[in-house]
């Protein structure tokens, strides 16, 4: 498996292909989970990745993130150098202050200024010098988002980043992420179980079934009308093997 990083400095005009996954195969102890996944994401494009539990969503994300040593075969993954990953938990270092978590690994006088700006964007400018454990779960996720922001990534990989949050914090985080994406135009791959979250956020929905891509559609129309939203939800739930009873009976 060749993981080819695109060279820094080849700053792409918008809508260039940012991520190219070709024939991705993954086996665990002889059991083939991914049978040859093909996926492209353009710069500035927001893709939600759905699929039943155990279908291989996290495995795809980890492979693209370069976190999986075990990917194999003749496949090829091309990704931007500047990428950041958001997980369900914030993965902050408990022995570092909020601001030091945000600047982690960055050097130079710019780093602190950038970190303060990012913490301001997630409305945590007043909590820069506290320990992560003194923050709520939602606040910790906002720090993780700020950490991602200062890296100004060309690609954001998110694995159910909001699923542990309460409903209100979740909506707030979705808005923050959408604002950020609008302004900075990274490519985004966002794993979620939540079809409505996918339709609120994504330009495109990709569903993985039995180790391959089984659905790949532009869904931006869902945000144009409530009727279209419901139709898309029913369609996608159908592809996931769920009948949308609510919609049928109302």
Ligand X SMILES: Nc1ncnc2c1ncn2[C@@H]1O[C@H](COP(=O)(O)OP(=O)(O)OP(=O)(O)O)[C@@H](O)[C@H]1O
Residues lying near ligand X in the complex (CB under 6 A) are found at 28, 33, 51, 53-59
Nearer to ligand X, 55 or 103 (CB): 55
Containing H/E element for 107? none
Other CB atoms closer than 10 Å to residue 106's CB: what's the count? 14
Rounded CA-CA distance 204/219 in Å is 5
The token pair at 29 is: 């102890």
Residue 189 CB, nearest distance to ligand X (Å)? Answer: 12
Alpha carbon dihedral 155, 39, 10, 102, in 10-degree steps, equals 10
Nearer to ligand X, 10 or 53 (CB): 53
Nearer to ligand X, 56 or 132 (CB): 56
Nearer to ligand X, 58 or 141 (CB): 58
Residue 62 CB, nearest distance to ligand X (Å)? Answer: 8
From residue 42, alpha-carbon distances to 18, 35, 129 in Å are: 5, 23, 37
Nearer to ligand X, 28 or 246 (CB): 28
Residue 68 CB, nearest distance to ligand X (Å)? Answer: 9
Residue 35 CB, nearest distance to ligand X (Å)? Answer: 12
Residue 166 CB, nearest distance to ligand X (Å)? Answer: 20
From residue 225, alpha-carbon distances to 161, 174, 220, 240 in Å are: 26, 19, 10, 23
């Amino acid at each position: 498996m060749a993981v080819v990083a695109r060279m820094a400095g080849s700053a792409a005009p918008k809508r260039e292909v940012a991520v190219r996954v070709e024939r991705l195969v993954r086996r665990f102890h002889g059991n083939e989970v991914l049978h040859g996944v093909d996926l492209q994401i353009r710069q500035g494009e927001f893709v939600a990745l759905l699929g039943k539990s155990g279908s291989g969503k996290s495995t795809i994300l980890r492979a693209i993130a370069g976190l999986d040593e075990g990917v194999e075969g003749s496949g090829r993954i091309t990704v931007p150098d500047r990428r950041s990953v958001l997980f369900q938990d914030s993965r902050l270092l408990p022995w570092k202050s909020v601001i030091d978590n945000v600047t982690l690994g960055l050097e130079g006088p710019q780093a602190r200024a950038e970190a303060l700006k990012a913490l301001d964007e997630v409305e945590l400018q007043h909590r820069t010098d506290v320990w992560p454990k003194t923050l709520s779960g939602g606040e910790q996720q906002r720090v993780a988002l700020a950490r991602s922001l200062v890296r100004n990534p060309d690609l954001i990989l998110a694995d159910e980043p909001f699923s542990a949050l309460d409903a209100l914090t979740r909506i707030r985080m979705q808005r923050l992420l959408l604002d950020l994406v609008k302004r900075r135009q990274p490519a985004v791959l966002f794993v979620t179980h939540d079809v409505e979250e996918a339709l609120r956020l994504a330009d495109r929905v990709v569903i993985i079934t039995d180790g391959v891509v089984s659905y790949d559609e532009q869904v931006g129309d869902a945000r144009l009308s409530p009727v279209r939203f419901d139709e898309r939800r029913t369609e996608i739930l159908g592809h996931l093997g769920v009948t949308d009873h609510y919609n049928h009976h109302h």
